[in-house]
């Protein structure tokens, strides 16, 4: 359905609201859709042809008049292109939930038929804390030595506490040659050294015999790449 306009969404939404017992009018005090049911229940819906940040801003402004504010936009069915709605469906729901906004989509088919779907009703946001993720975050913070990463994008992989431990092992093997994993653990203080050497997540280590490991060429290059990090660790 080319050249879709916001006005094309009004009738499907109006019909949907009226089926729920609302009296509906458009363009009142800069609100795209206003619906009233009974004496006090006031619903405001802001429209856009796609999900955009200005649509979110409009919804936030309308919350000064009612708690029942919805964002509505069109979703084309039967088309294969990747839209922001398809890429970020869960993120959009989370954002609206955090802001206390409702969310409605109007599905438009290629033959012009429409279907209205309510994904989220407005409600106060009460986030559930994830204790396991919190513990993982704090553990990584405490184990990581220094602050080896630059905030934002970086040309090299993020230096995690695990990578720092692997670099300690690589540095020791580079200096001492093939060594038993238990010795690497004892000399470097990396308690998980045997597991790091065995799993070889980065391709830095090679088992030369049972329980004994050597550094690979990739490991040597990693010591050069992370020379500044190695210097703080050793």
| pLDDT of residue 200 exceeding 90 | yes
pLDDT of 30-47, one tens digit each? Answer: 899 999 998 778 999 999
Predicted confidence (pLDDT) per residue in 129-156, tens digit: 889 988 998 999 898 998 888 776 567 8
**Residues 116 and 163 reside in one and the same domain:** no
Phi, psi at 50, each rounded to 5°: -140, 165
Q: pLDDT band at residue 1, thresholds of 50, 70 and 90?
A: very low
CA atoms of 20 and 15, how far apart (whole Å): 9
Under 8 Å between Cβ of 222 and 167? yes
> Are residues 107 and 17 located together in one domain of the fold?
yes
Domain of 162 in residue numbering reads as 158-233
The last residue of a domain, from among 93, 120, 147: 120
Q: Please indicate, yes or no, if residue 136 is contained in any of the structural domains.
A: no
List the alpha helices (DSSP H) in 27-77. 53-62
Note whether residue 142 is domain-resident: no
- pLDDT digits over 73-131, tens only? 988 776 655 678 888 999 999 999 999 999 999 988 766 678 899 999 999 887 788 89
Residue 146 DSSP one-character state: S
Residue 100 lies in a domain: yes
Where does a domain end: 103, 120, 137? 120
CA distance 78 to 115: 13
Examine the domain organization and report whether 12 and 87 are in the same domain: yes
Query: Are both 113 and 195 inside the same structural domain?
Result: no
Q: How far is CA 55 from the centre of its chain?
A: 20
User: How far, in Å, CA of 177 to CA of 198, rounded?
Assistant: 16
Are both 20 and 82 inside the same structural domain? yes
Residue 234 pLDDT grade (very low, low, confident, very high; cuts 50, 70, 90): confident
Backbone angles phi, psi at 36, to 5 degrees: -130, 135
For the domain that residue 100 is a member of, what is the CATH number? 3.40.1350.60
Q: What pLDDT sits at residue 83?
A: 77
Say whether 74 sits in a helix, a strand or coil.
strand
Q: Name the residue among 112, 103, 113 with its Cα closest to residue 47.
A: 103
Alpha helices in the chain (DSSP H): 7-19, 53-62, 84-87, 89-99, 131-143, 161-176, 181-188, 193-199, 217-225, 227-233
Does residue 147 lie in a domain region? no
By 3-state DSSP, what share of the chain in percent is helix, strand and coil, each rounded to 5?
A: 40, 25, 35
Same domain, 168 and 116: no
The reply to whether 13 and 112 lie within a common domain is yes
CATH of the domain at 205: 1.10.10.10
Counting the structural domains of the chain, the total is: 2
Residue predicted with more confidence, 49 or 183: 183
Q: What is the predicted pLDDT for the residue at 153? A: 58
188 within domain boundaries: yes
Q: Does 2 map to a domain?
A: no
pLDDT tier at 187, thresholds 50, 70, 90: very high
Out of 68, 97, 120, pick the residue that ends a domain.
120
The rounded distance, in Å, linking the Cα atoms of 232 and 123 is 49
Instruction: Based on the fold, state whether residues 168 and 215 are members of the same structural domain.
Output: yes
Give a yes or no: residue 46 inside a domain. yes
The reply to whether 22 and 95 lie within a common domain is: yes
């Amino acid at each position: 359905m080319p050249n879709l306009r916001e006005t094309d969404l009004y009738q499907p939404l109006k019909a949907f609201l009226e089926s729920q017992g609302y009296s509906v009018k458009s363009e009142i005090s800069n609100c795209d859709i206003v619906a009233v049911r009974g004496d006090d229940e006031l619903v405001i819906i802001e429209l856009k042809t796609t999900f955009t940040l200005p649509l979110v801003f409009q919804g936030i402004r309308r919350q000064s008049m009612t708690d029942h504010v919805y964002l509505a936009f069109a979703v084309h069915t039967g088309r294969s292109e990747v839209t922001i709605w398809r890429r970020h469906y869960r993120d959009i729901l989370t954002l609206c939930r955090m802001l206390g906004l409702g969310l409605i989509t109007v599905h438009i088919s290629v033959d012009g038929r429409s279907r209205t779907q309510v994904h989220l009703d407005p409600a106060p946001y009460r986030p559930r804390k994830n204790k396991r993720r919190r513990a993982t975050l704090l553990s990584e913070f405490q184990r990581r030595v220094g602050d080896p990463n630059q905030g934002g994008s970086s040309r090299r992989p993020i230096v995690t506490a695990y990578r720092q431990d692997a670099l300690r092992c690589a540095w020791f093997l580079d200096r001492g040659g093939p060594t038993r994993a238990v010795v690497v653990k004892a000399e470097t203080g990396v308690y998980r050294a045997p597991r790091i050497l065995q799993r070889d997540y980065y391709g830095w280590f090679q088992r030369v015999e049972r329980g004994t490991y050597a550094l690979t060429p990739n490991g040597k290059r990693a010591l050069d790449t992370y020379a500044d990090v190695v210097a703080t660790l050793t």
